[in-house]
Amino acid sequence: MEYRSLGRSDLRISTIGFGCMSLGTDEAAATKLIHRALGAGVNYFDTADLYDKGLNESMMGRILRGKREEVVLATKVGNQWRPDGSGWDWNPRKEYIIKAVEESLSRLQTDRIDLYQLHGGTMEDPIDETIEAFELLRQQGKIRYYGISSIRPAVIREYSRRSRIISVMLQYSLLDRRAEEHCLDELREQGIGVLARGSVAKGLLAGKPVSAYAGGRERGAVYLDHSIAEVEGAARVVAELSGSNRSAAQTALQYVLYNSAITSAVVGLRTVVQLEDAVGALEAPWLTAIENQALRGAVRVNYYDKHL
């Protein structure tokens, strides 16, 4: 396993991170998978109070009992479940964040969160108040560092400028290169780490049939603004460049990690096979510059058209 420093912090995290949202509620299976990941060198685990209404955090707390010092534990805040459980509302207010962190700490069975992330964000938020909450939690020792999970360039830019975030989690893959235009170079220059999610584009770059994902749609966009033909074309080039050297998922992950702004590809893992495939991306022959360029030329670049 390879480890990289997350932004300007002293957190050293595995370049393959574990996205916990996909774990489900089978705790025995999740325990086996998490322990297998630890054995493979994965040390970054990313959950959120939103997932399964807090049950994901609770399960992770039980699974990591006795192994807390081995991991970099991240969670998120900002989406407040309604009392009747019918959905959630966005709440970036200081009062709520201060309350929510106590609940996350309790569920995770820990005295501090290594990385506490704002789970979204808009330009209409009371940004200074939100930052004040995170800074207070740092001073109190309840969190070590904080970051933001967002795909909105304007919001990312404001937090990069006005706060001491060490990381940004955003969506990035061969089929979603929007961050290349507005975020990645700036974040690299500012020393802010990038956690990439969605690296295999919901499996579309790892062999999942596009027709199944499209749900009967034959025209129009099926993944962001990409058509079925464009997605199939990208997947075909990924498969061709993989050959016997790498799996398609490994090639997709290597494409993401090839960008020097990316600290870790955080992968939603459900099975041991998926885990071994993802971790194996670091052991497989690395993409050459020519292969990387071939991938970049395989699909039209997409761009942000909102929240700039």
39: burial class by Cβ within 10 Å (0-12, 13-18, 19+)? Answer: exposed
264 and 16 Cβ atoms separated by less than 8 Å: yes
- C-alpha distances (whole Å) from 183 to each of 12, 187, 267, 295 are 22, 6, 20, 20
Which residue in 107, 117, 113 sits closest to 73, CA to CA? 113
Coil, strand or helix at 226: strand
Cα–Cα distances (Å) from 306 to 80, 179, 182, 205, 303, in that order, read 24, 12, 12, 25, 9
Helix, strand, coil percentages (3-state) for the chain, rounded to 5, are 45, 20, 35
Q: What is the DSSP letter of 284?
A: S
* Cβ–Cβ under 8 Å, residues 32 and 45: no
Residue with tokens 């200081």: 94
Tell me which residues are annotated as active site. 51
